[in-house]
Amino acid sequence: MQAASESSQAEQDFLPDRIWRIANVSEEATSTVVRVVRLLQCIAEVGGEISVKEFAAHLSLPPSTVHRLLKLLMSQGLIEQRATTQRYRVGRELFRISSLIARQVDFEEIARPILTALRDACQETCYFAMYLPTSRRFVGTVVARSPHPLGYHFEPLMQQKVAWGAVGRCMLAYLPEEEVRKAVAEAGESPAGNPPPSLKDMKAALEEIRERGYASAEGEIFPEAIGFARVVFDADGNVMGSLGITMPMIRYKASMHKQLANLVIGKAKELSKALGYREVAELPASNELRPRRRARA
């Protein structure tokens, strides 16, 4: 019994030092993992090739540490080095893993919480509409309904021409000019009976949308309704659709405009980010750096 007691006491005496050493190992391991994740984020967001110097400046790490991390990632095929330039790019194994993950992603699982949060903030019907490039239309795919009994319900799978409504025009503002021309030619009357726009008027409206970062429209899809919407980009910077709010004019006040616009801008940016869209990473100026182009937002 005495031996057992002495053994137990020895373990207790040893325990604090043991915990201290494990805690320090864990902290070191965590630090390495965080640095690796940040390095992968950096190379993914740049979308091109990047040098050790640029990595080090962006991550605020010594070049020797960056070299060590890159060597670790290269051993697993997650990053590759171009022999002719000695610059680094996404490796084939990282691309394979990303592709496998992308195939498992359910879009509604990503969009639904964002739409629900937007609906809860404004208490109006919120939706995501997907752009259909072959027909220049959009289709409602995810809807979070207003709790109010009076409202305009943006139905799932409802299709409309992209020339109409805040939901459509905020997409059109970021499409090529040829698509704008075709959309205007095909517009016809709006669902609410508005006359078709001229190409000149449409171009002016789209420029304003790009400047403001969102679109608003009254009575174009639903009579006596107002809508706010912002474009949503996919991981490649292409127009995927738009996120918006629609409400009856009877509940709308001019003092609400700024708040509703800011809500839809913030949540649309959040959804674009969740889908993999990134602005070009801010790296030190370099003639060698060639980040991929992004849609202007």
**280, pLDDT greater than 90:** no
Overall average pLDDT of the 106-130 stretch: 92
Question: Residues 288, 45: contact at Cβ < 8 Å?
Answer: no
- CATH number given to 2-100: 1.10.10.10
User: Residue ranges of the domains in the chain?
Assistant: 2-100, 105-274
CATH 3.30.428.10 fits 105-274, yes or no: no
**175, pLDDT greater than 50:** yes
Question: Residues 42, 55: contact at Cβ < 8 Å?
Answer: yes
pLDDT band, residue 159 (cuts 50/70/90):
confident
Helix (H/G/I), strand (E/B), else coil: 235: coil
Overall average pLDDT of the 59-87 stretch: 90
154 or 268: which leads in pLDDT? 268
The pLDDT value recorded for residue 291 is: 35
**148, pLDDT greater than 50:** yes
Residue 137: beta bridge partners?
A: 132, 161
**pTM above 0.75?**
no
The pLDDT value recorded for residue 201 is: 92
Q: How far apart are CA 284 and CA 276, in angstroms?
A: 23
Overall average pLDDT of the 63-69 stretch: 92
In 3D space, the residue among 83, 89, 12 whose CA is nearest the CA of residue 46 turns out to be: 89
Query: What's the one-letter identity of residue 257?
Result: H
Tokens in use for 8?
């137990």
